[in-house]
Amino acid sequence: MKKILTALLIITVISCQFSKNEVVNNSDITTVYYFIRHAEKDRSDTSQKDPELTKIGIQRAKNWAILFEKVEFDQIFSTDYRRTQQTVKYVSIEQKVAVHSYDPNDLFNDDFKTLTAGKTILIVGHSNTTPEFVNAILGIEKFPHIADSNNANLYIVSIIDNTKTVQLLTVN
């Protein structure tokens, strides 16, 4: 619980710094992307290519919703897999923001950049797509794939005009 409160405090400070559609120097637009990997999935049937979340995974999904209470998302994106959709479900319901699908094979294209410019966005992906998406925004290969046992990473990418910053938090 202490770690959740600490992470919530960090996100609150960050969200206050980068509030929705903030204008800096009357010309800079702020865009903030929050990236998480899906919560713990059911591994009991190795032939299942689209498993649901475990009980622990569902609790993590609920904890993400609590953690993001102070962040006002304009849009939420997820891959079409059950585990990612279930992970973002509670945030979507709490904030009354629909979940849109994204193609993990076409990350950060011009349409996506235009659609999300000046907004606060949550993106839920996988151990490979999440860091690849962050890297695509940054324009560099900074983050490797996430370890299969790690469902706790939170990447926060902020873009003010053309200046990009990134923070990586672990939320257990």
**DSSP per residue, 40-58:** PBP-S-TT-SS--B-HHHH
Number of domains in the chain: 1
Residue with tokens 């973002």: 88
The C-alpha atoms of residue 88 and residue 39 are separated, in whole angstroms, by 9
Residue 110, token pair as written in the block: 């011009």
Quickly state the pLDDT bin for 17 (edges 50, 70, 90). Answer: very low
Residues ≥6 apart with Cβ < 8 Å to 6: none
**Could you report the per-residue pLDDT of 66-98, keeping only the tens digit for each?**
999 999 999 999 999 999 999 999 999 999 999
The C-alpha atoms of residue 42 and residue 32 are separated, in whole angstroms, by 31
Mean pLDDT calculated for residue range 59-70: 98
Q: What is the pLDDT of residue 28?
A: 73
| pLDDT higher than 60, residue 27 | no
Structural domain span for residue 7: 2-170
**pTM of the full structure:** 0.86
CATH classification at residue 61: 3.40.50.1240
**Are 51 and 58 spatial neighbours (Cβ–Cβ below 8 Å)?**
no
Angle formed at CA 90 by CA 153 and CA 147, multiple of 5 degrees: 20
Q: Which neighbouring-strand residues pair with 77? A: 100, 123
